[in-house]
Structure 1
Amino acid sequence: MPSSPAPPFVPSPRRERAPHPTGRPRRLGGWCARHSVGVLLLWAVALAGLQGLVHAYGGDYSDDFSLPGTQSQDGLDVLRAHAPSAGGHSAQIVLHDGEPLTDLSDQVSSAVTGLRKLPDVLVVQNPLPPPGSTPPPPPTGSPDTGPLSADGRTAYVTVRFDVRPSTLGAEYLHGVDRAVQPLRAAGVRVEYGGPLGELARPGAGDRTGEAIGFGVAFLVLLIGFGSLLAALLPLVTAVFCAVVGVALLGLLASVWTFATVSPTLATMIGTGVGIDYALFLVTRHRQNLLDGRDPATVAGNAAATSGRAVLLSGCTVVLALSGLWVCGIGFIGRLGLAAAVTVVTAVIGALTLVPALLGLIGRRIDRLRVRTPVAETDATPGGNTRGGSTHSGWHRYARRVERRPWWFLAGGVVVLAVLAFPLLSLRSGHIGDGADPESFTDRRAYDLMSSAFGPGSNGPLTLVIDRSDVPQADRPALASQAGKALTGVPDAATITPLTATSDGDVLTATAYSVAGPQDERTTALTDDLTDTVLPKAVEGYEARTYVTGTTAAQVDFLGVVAGRLPLVVAVVVALAFLVVLVVFRGPLVAVKAAVLGVLSISASYGVVVAVFQWGWGGPALGVPGDVPIESYVPVMMFAIVFGWGMDHEIFLLSRIHEAWLRTGDPRGSVAHALGITARVITCAALIMVSVFAAFLISDSIVVKMLGLGLAAGVLIDASVVRLLLVPAVMTLLGRAAWWTPRWLDRALPRPGTEGTAGRKP
C-alpha cells in the first residue's frame, strides 16, 4: 500500500541556496577593513564637525505635555485670546526667611522689577501687599493659598513667560540670579520652582552611571572574550557612535522640541545596542580568524553574515520605535525618534567602524589575552571544532531542554506570570518635583510651598468659563450660579472666587487640591471639575468650560497615552510579526515571537510597578516613597524592550534555521543553535543590563524608572524567554515551525539574512 503523503504543516527542509556573502555588506566591510585609517579619519571628522554644529546651532530640551485638541490646551488658548498675561507659561520663585518678608519690601520690589526686565517675561506678581495695607485673609476653612503665607515668612513670586521657560537655556538663569540677588544678600532663601527649577538642575548627573555601566560592560566583555583588545573594541565603537548620535539629536532639537530625558535615553539605547551589534561582528570575526583566514577578508565576511543580522535587527528596533508615532502624541513620538537616531548610528558604526578597527588590529586582536580565546562555531550539528558546541555546557543544557520541553515551557511561563502579577495594579501618573532629590532647587521650592500653603499649591488648576456667547444681561446670573457650584467640591482644598477678564468675556478661578500634583486625588479632582462640576456650573447657558494649567495638561496627557497604548502595542507587535515572517517564512515562528515578546514586557512592567509604585526596594534606589509610573514610560519600555527582544530573536532563530536547512533535524537544530549562541546572547544581555542598570543612580526618577525597566526587560528576555521558552517552544513545534503555505511563500519577499543560507558561507 502506498504511504500517505506528509501533512502540509510538516515540511522537509528547503535546501535553498541563499546569497553567498559577496553582496554589498561584504564589499563594504572588506573595503572598510582595507582602508581602516581613512574610515577612522572620516568618523573623527564627522564627530568634530557635528560637535561644532551643535555648539553653534544645537537646540535645548524641554518637557511639553500640551496636546492640541485637549480641553486643557483649548482653555489655555482661550486665556491667551482674552487675557494674554494670564495665558503664558508660569514658574514660581519661592522666598523664605526667619522674619516676616514684609520687612524686606524694598528688596522684594527690587527683585520683582529686575525680573520684569528679563526677556520673554509677560508679567511678574509681587507677593507683598502695597505699603500700608494688609493681605486679605484666606478663605474660611482652607489653607493659605495666597502668594504670602499667614506668618509672612514664605512667599512666592509668579513669573509668566511668553514661551516655555525650559526652552530658554541654562544661561537664562544668570539674569534671574542677578534679579534676586538683593534678596539673597539680605539672607532670604530663594528657590526656583517648576520650569525654572528644571533649568537649574545639574547637567551631568548621569555621567557617573554611564561610567559604571561601561566599567561593568568591559569586565563582562573581558571575561567573555578573554582578550583586552577584543573587549575594548565594542566599547570604543559603541561610545563613539553614541556620541555622534547624540550630536545629531542636538541638531534635531533646534527644529523640534524633545523631552529633557531624550539625550539620556538616546545615550542609554545607543550605547547598549552599539555594544550588542559590535559584539556579534567581533565574535564571528574571531572565529574566522581562528580558522586561519585573511583579516581583511574575514572582516568582510563578518559584515556579510553577522552584519546582515545587525542590519535587520537595527531595522526591527527602529520600526518598533517608529511605532510610537501611531499614538499621535508628538512628545512620545520624538522620544522614539531620539532613541532611533542612536540606533541608526550604532548600525552604521557596526557596518563600517567595526570592520575598520578589525582590519587595523588584524590578528593582534587576541594578543593581550587573559585566557585562551573561545569563539562560537558554525560546525554542523553533531560535529566539533575549536571552540565547538558539542561538548559545551550550553549544548548539554540545550539537550536537556530538548528532552523535557514541556517542563521548561511550564517553568518559564510560571516565572513570567509571577513577575507580571504587579502589573494588574499599575497606576500611571506624572512624577512631580516632590520626588526629586533635596539637592535640586525645585524640590526645595516644592517642600517650602507644601509647608506654607499646602501640597496642592504646587499644582494649581486654572478654571476657565468662556461666556462670550452669553448675553450681557445673563452674565451676572451665570457668575452667581457658577460660584455656588464651585463651593464644597470634593478633594479641593479651596477654589478662589471667580474673576472676569478685562473684556468681561471670560471668568477664571484657581482650584487647589488637598494633595500634591502626582496624587490620585488631584487627578480625580481634575476629572471631576472637567466632566461634572464646571459643566453643571454653566448649565442652561451657552458657555464653555475648561480646566487648564500644567497639572491639568499632565492629566489630559495621561488619559490620551493610556487610551492609545493598546494601539501602539498592536502596531509594534504586528510589525515584529511581519519582520519575523518575512525573514524566516514561518507563520508559527512569527506568532511565537510576538506572544513571547508580549509576555516578556509584561513581566518587566511588573518589576517596575513593584519597585516604584509598591515601594519594594524603592528607598534603596533613592526614590522617596511610592510614586506613580510616569505616563510615557510603559510606552517607551514596550517599544525598546520588544525591539531588543526581536533583535535577539532574529539572532537565535537565524542559527536554528541555518542548522535546519543543513540537516533537516528540527530538534537537533534547536540544541545546536542554542549551544553556539547562548554564550553570546548571555554576554550581550549582561552588558545591556549593566548599561541600563547603571542609570539607577541618576537623580531623575524617570531615568531610574527607564533604567530599571529596560534592565529587567533585557534580563527577563535573555534568561527566561531566550534560554527557556524559545528552545522549548521550537522543540515542541518541530518541523511545523518552518511550515509556510505555498501561496504565502511565493508572496513574501526574500531579504536574505544571516541564517537563511542553505550552506555555510
Structure 2
Amino acid sequence: MTPTEQDGRQEAGPGLGNELSGPRPGPGLLFRMGHGCARRPWRVIAVWLLVLLAAVGADRAWGGTYKDDFALPGTAAQTGADLLDAHGGPAARGVPAQIVLSTARDGADGQNAQDGLGAHREAIDAARANLATLPEVVSVADPSATSGTMARDGRTGYFTVRFESNPARFEKSYVGLVDEAVAPLRADGIEVEYGGPLGQLARSGGADRASEAIGVATAVLVLLIGFGSVAAAAFPLISAVIGLLAGLAALGLVAAQVSLAAVSPTLAVMMGLGVGLDYSLFLVTRHRRLLRDGADPAGAAGRAVATSGRAVLVAAVTVTVALAGLFASGIGFIGLLGVAAATTVLTGALAALTLTPALLGLAGRRIDRFRVRRPVDEPDGHADMWHRWAAAVGRRPWTALVASVLLLGLLAVPTASMHLGHVDAGAAPAGSTERRAYDLVSDGFGPGANGPLTVVATLDRDGTTAQERTEIAQDLQRVLARTPGVASATLPAPTADGALLVSTVVPAGAPQDRATGDLVHRLADRTLPDTLGPYGATGYLTGLVAAQQAFRDVLADRLPLVVGLVVTVAFLLLLTVFRSPLVALKAGLLNLVSIGASFGVVVAVFQWGWGGSLLGVDEPVPVESYVPMMMFAIVFGLSMDYEVFLLSRIREYWLAGHGDRESVAAGLASTARVITCAALIMTSVFLAFLLAEDPVVKMLALGLGVSVVLDATVVRLLLVPATMHLMGRANWWIPGWLDRLLPRLDPEGAERADPELPRRATEVAEA
C-alpha cells in the first residue's frame, strides 16, 4: 500500500472506528437535513405543495411557449434569411407553411378529378380570402398566383401561408380556424392537407401523453416488485412526480425569457421522471437497510441522506455539468435543450433529498405496509444471487472483460456509417395530414418540392443597370438549372427595392436525402461564387433545408469539442470525489464505449431501417443532427449516476479496511439490485416514448433506453468490477502532490459508514 493510501485510510479510519466503537462525530449538513425532514414531515410536505402550487400558478400566468429557433448568426443561410426579411416585403417575411390541394386522390371524384384545380377557382378564391383574415397570417399565395406551386397536370397545388411566428406552437384550436377557412375547398370535393409547421400543429399529441402514462405505470410495477410493498414503492413515485411538476413549471417560466425548443418539455419529462425515481430509489433502499439494522426512522433517514444522498448530489451535479457542456456547441438551441433537461434533473434531486426523507419519516417503521411480496433491500449474506454474481466476476475478470468489450464493440460498428441530417415529414406517421401533404407534393412536383432552396443574390442598386440585372438573372438561372442534383430553378426576380435577386431551386431528391445535402454544399461553395463573382455580386443559399444543413455542419464541427469538455470536467469531478486517477479515467473511457454502442443501435434501426417499421418509422431516415450531441451529454451524465453509486460503495468498503478484491465484490453485491431496479425504471420511462409521433423523440427514446440497459448491465455489472479486479491496488493510487492539491469531497459520507460493512465484505469474500 502506498503512503497516500495509508494516509487516506487513516483519515477515514477514525470516523469508521467511532461508528463501530467510539464516540460519534458531529452530524454533517446532509445528515442534519435528512434527519430534520424526517422529524418534521408535514412541514416539509406542506412547503413542497406550496412551492408546487406557486410555480404552476406562475407558469399559467407568465409562462412562455416552446418554439424551435435554428438561427445561426454568421452563416450564409442566416444572412440570406435576414436579407429577405429586410428587402423582400411581406411575401418573404414570417414562417411559411403549405396547405396542399389535390383533385388527384381520395376526396376528389369523377369529373372533379378530371377537371383539376382550375375548375374550382371560386372555392380557391374564397379559401384564400378566409385564410388571409386569420390571426398571425402575414400573407397567402394561392397556386395560380405563385410560380411553381401548381403541378403540370393542374390537379395538385398548394397555398403558401406565412405566419408571424411558428404555427407549430399555436394552440390546437387554431387548426379548427384553418379548417373553417378551407371549408369551401372541401365542400367542392378538393382534398386539403396541411404541411410543414401547420401539419405539426395538427398532430394529435395523444401519443406523448400515453407515453408518459405508460412510463409511470411501468415504473410503479417495477417499484412494487423491487420493494415488495405499496408504501415503499409509492414514496419514490410521489417524490419524482412532485419534483417533475415543479421543474416543468420552472421550465415554463424560463421559456418566457428565452426560446426553448419544441421538444424541451418532452425531454424534461423523460429526464426528470427517470432520474427522480432513481435518486429516491437509492435513498429508500439504504433507509430500509438501516431500519433493518435497528436504526430509528429519523436517524435512518438522516444517515441515508448522509450516505446515498451524497452520491445522489454528486450524480445530479455530474449530469448537470454534462448538460451544461452543450453550450460549448456555440448553438443556443442545443445549449438550451441542456437547460431544459437539467432543470428537472435538479428539481428531482432536490425532491429526493428533502421530500423523500420526509415521507420516510412519516411512514416510520410502517414502510412495509400493504405487502405484495417479501420486502427486500440491500443483499445480506453470501447466499444472495448478487453475492454469487460478484464472486463469479472476481474469479474470472478477464472473461468478463473480453466478453463485454466484444459485445459493446459489435453494437458500436454501425456508428462508423452514421449520416447526420434532418428527418423530414416523409417519416411522419402514415395517415397524418402532415404525411399526406408531403406525399401529395412529392407525387405532383417531385420529392425536392418538399424542401426548396432559396438563392439570394445581392446587387448594388446604384451601380447595376436593368440590363445588367437581367443578364445576371439569366446567367444564374442557366447555371442553377444545369447543376447536378437540381430539378428546376426559377428565373431570379428582383425584390421591390431592387436590392436583391431571388430564385427558388427545387432539388431532385427529398430534403433528408444525402444527395440534397451534397447539393447544398455544391451550390454554396462553388456554383454561386463562380457564377456571381465576376459580376461583383454575392450569393447566399437559404431556406429551411439550407439552414438545417448549416446547423448540421456546425454541430459536426463542434461535437469533438463538446465531448472533450464534458469528459474532462467529469474526469476532474470523479478524480476529486474518489481520489483515484485510474478510477476516473476508467469511468470516462467505459462511458464512451457504452455511448458508442447506443449510437450504433440508433443507426441500425433508423438509418439502416432494421426494425424501424416496428417503431412506426416506415422508411430509413438519417440521424437527426442534434441527436448524437444530446445523447452524448445525457447518457454520459446518467451513466455517472450508476458509476458514482457503485464506486461510492466500493470505496466505502475499502476505507473500512478491506482488500481490493473484497471491496469490489462487496460494493457490487450491495448495489447490484438497486442499480438494476433503477435501470429498469429509467429504461421503461425512456422506451415508453417510442410511442411518440415525432421520429426524433423516438430516436432519443431508443438511444437513451438502450444506453441505460447497457450501462446498468454490461458496464456496471461486468466491465467495472472486472477492470477494478484486474487493477488491484492501483485502483486507489494517487500521487502525493495531487492528493494534497485536490479539494476533499466525500459523496458517500465515509465518516458515517455503515457499521455492517466489515461483516458483509467478509461474507462476500468468503463466497
Q: TM-score, normalised by structure 1?
A: 0.93
Match of 1:48 among 36, 50, 53: 53
Instruction: Find the counterpart in structure 2 of residue 132 from structure 1.
Output: none
Instruction: Find the counterpart in structure 1 of residue 601 from structure 2.
Output: 607
Q: Distance in 2 between matches of 1:489 and 1:228?
A: 67
Aligned partners of 2:455 and 2:504 also within 8 Å: yes
Q: Distance in 1 between matches of 2:392 and 2:495?
A: 76
Does residue 490 of the first structure (1) align with residue 495 of the second (2)? Answer: no
Does residue 368 of the first structure (1) align with residue 373 of the second (2)? Answer: no
Q: Distance in 1 between matches of 2:64 and 2:578?
A: 42
* Matched residue type, 2:632: F
Instruction: Find the counterpart in structure 2 of residue 534 from structure 1.
Output: 528
* Matched residue type, 2:337: L
Instruction: Find the counterpart in structure 1 of residue 11 from structure 2.
Output: 16
| SS, match of residue 482 in structure 2 | coil
After alignment, is 653-662 or 93-102 more displaced? Answer: 93-102
CA shift in 2, pair 1:755/1:738, >3 Å: farther
CA shift in 2, pair 1:126/1:372, >3 Å: closer
After alignment, is 739-748 or 165-174 more displaced? Answer: 165-174
* Matched residue type, 1:547: L
Deviation digits for residues 256-305 of structure 1 (CA, Å, limit 9, x no counterpart): 12121111111011010011001000001111111222212221221111
| SS, match of residue 471 in structure 1 | coil
Name structure 1 gaps, 5 residues minimum: 1-5, 130-134, 136-144, 377-386
Instruction: Indicate the structure with greater helix content.
Output: 2
Deviation at 1:728, TM superposition (A): 0.9
Deviation at 1:469, TM superposition (A): 7.1
Aligned partners of 2:67 and 2:260 also within 8 Å: yes
Deviation at 1:558, TM superposition (A): 0.7
Q: Distance in 1 between matches of 2:142 and 2:708?
A: 52
Aligned partners of 2:9 and 2:657 also within 8 Å: no
Does residue 511 of the first structure (1) align with residue 505 of the second (2)? Answer: yes
Deviation at 1:479, TM superposition (A): 2.9
| SS, match of residue 367 in structure 2 | helix
Instruction: Find the counterpart in structure 2 of residue 230 from structure 1.
Output: 232
Q: Distance in 2 between matches of 1:469 and 1:621?
A: 54
Does residue 421 of the first structure (1) align with residue 413 of the second (2)? Answer: yes
Does residue 450 of the first structure (1) align with residue 445 of the second (2)? Answer: no
CA shift in 2, pair 1:10/1:21, >3 Å: closer
CA RMSD, aligned part only? 1.9
CA shift in 2, pair 1:737/1:9, >3 Å: farther
Q: Distance in 2 between matches of 1:472 and 1:635?
A: 46
Aligned partners of 1:108 and 1:183 also within 8 Å: yes
Instruction: Find the counterpart in structure 1 of residue 21 from structure 2.
Output: none
Deviation at 1:758, TM superposition (A): 7.6
Instruction: Find the counterpart in structure 2 of residue 121 from structure 1.
Output: 137
CA shift in 2, pair 1:688/1:437, >3 Å: same
Instruction: Find the counterpart in structure 1 of residue 392 from structure 2.
Output: 400
Aligned length: 732
Instruction: Find the counterpart in structure 1 of residue 582 from structure 2.
Output: 588
CA shift in 2, pair 1:10/1:353, >3 Å: closer
Instruction: Find the counterpart in structure 1 of residue 344 from structure 2.
Output: 342
Deviation at 1:411, TM superposition (A): 1.2
Deviation at 1:727, TM superposition (A): 0.5
Instruction: Find the counterpart in structure 2 of residue 573 from structure 1.
Output: 567
Deviation at 1:412, TM superposition (A): 1.1
Match of 1:108 among 124, 135, 157: 124
* Matched residue type, 2:499: D
Does residue 59 of the first structure (1) align with residue 64 of the second (2)? Answer: yes
Deviation at 1:167, TM superposition (A): 4.1
Aligned partners of 1:582 and 1:749 also within 8 Å: yes
* Matched residue type, 1:556: A
| SS, match of residue 539 in structure 1 | helix
Aligned partners of 2:613 and 2:619 also within 8 Å: yes
| SS, match of residue 533 in structure 2 | coil
Q: Distance in 1 between matches of 2:179 and 2:474?
A: 44
Aligned partners of 2:602 and 2:703 also within 8 Å: yes
Instruction: Find the counterpart in structure 1 of residue 726 from structure 2.
Output: 732
Deviation digits for residues 214-239 of structure 1 (CA, Å, limit 9, x no counterpart): 22222222222111211222122212
Q: Distance in 2 between matches of 1:755 and 1:578?
A: 19
| SS, match of residue 506 in structure 2 | strand
Match of 1:193 among 192, 195, 199: 195
Q: Distance in 2 between matches of 1:76 and 1:700?
A: 27
Deviation at 1:592, TM superposition (A): 0.5
* Matched residue type, 2:142: N
Instruction: Find the counterpart in structure 2 of residue 391 from structure 1.
Output: 383
Aligned partners of 2:473 and 2:491 also within 8 Å: no
Instruction: Find the counterpart in structure 2 of residue 94 from structure 1.
Output: 100
Instruction: Find the counterpart in structure 2 of residue 25 from structure 1.
Output: 30
Deviation digits for residues 409-447 of structure 1 (CA, Å, limit 9, x no counterpart): 111111111010010111111111110113432111111
Q: Distance in 2 between matches of 1:80 and 1:260?
A: 24
Instruction: Find the counterpart in structure 1 of residue 287 from structure 2.
Output: 285
Instruction: Find the counterpart in structure 1 of residue 644 from structure 2.
Output: 650
Aligned partners of 2:241 and 2:273 also within 8 Å: yes
* Matched residue type, 2:97: A
Q: Distance in 2 between matches of 1:532 and 1:722?
A: 50
Deviation at 1:478, TM superposition (A): 2.9
CA shift in 2, pair 1:470/1:612, >3 Å: farther
| SS, match of residue 10 in structure 2 | coil
Instruction: Find the counterpart in structure 2 of residue 269 from structure 1.
Output: 271
* Matched residue type, 1:349: A
Does residue 76 of the first structure (1) align with residue 81 of the second (2)? Answer: yes
| SS, match of residue 364 in structure 2 | helix
CA shift in 2, pair 1:21/1:89, >3 Å: farther
* Matched residue type, 1:449: V
Q: Distance in 2 between matches of 1:234 and 1:470?
A: 71
Does residue 686 of the first structure (1) align with residue 688 of the second (2)? Answer: no
Aligned partners of 2:193 and 2:433 also within 8 Å: yes
* Matched residue type, 1:351: L
Q: TM-score, normalised by structure 2?
A: 0.92
Q: Distance in 1 between matches of 2:238 and 2:469?
A: 69
Identical columns (%) = 53
Deviation digits for residues 358-410 of structure 1 (CA, Å, limit 9, x no counterpart): 1111111112222322221xxxxxxxxxx414332212221222222122111
Q: Distance in 1 between matches of 2:4 and 2:286?
A: 34
Match of 2:735 among 727, 732, 741: 741
* Matched residue type, 1:163: S
CA shift in 2, pair 1:759/1:292, >3 Å: closer
Aligned partners of 2:79 and 2:540 also within 8 Å: yes
